[in-house]
Amino acid sequence: MGLEDKADAQKDKLAGATKEGAGKLTGDSQTEAEGKGQNLQGKLKDAAESVKDAAGDAKESAKGFTDGLKKD
């Protein structure tokens, strides 16, 4: 996961949590819902980046395995 992607996901989660809290505090259900949505968006970005990282790790492992086979 790139540093910029991590920061973007964290920004969305923090802004979402802030909006959600403000909405609850003021009784504004629309702001609360927007906050929940933005928070979820940040969580989904985190999950997508984790999948990318895992795929990259699997690719490197497979490359190492095939390189080992070529030496034999």
Tokens describing residue 26:
């003021």
Q: What angle do CA 56, 13, 55 make, to 5 degrees?
A: 10
Q: Is the pLDDT of residue 71 over 80?
A: no
Q: Is the pLDDT of residue 12 over 70?
A: yes
Q: What is the pTM of this model?
A: 0.71
pLDDT, tens only, 23-64: 999 999 999 999 999 999 999 999 998 898 888 888 888 776
Q: How far apart are CA 51 and CA 36, in angstroms?
A: 23
| Domain containing residue 63 | 3-71
Number of structural domains found in the chain: 1
Q: pLDDT tier at 66 (50, 70, 90 boundaries)?
A: low
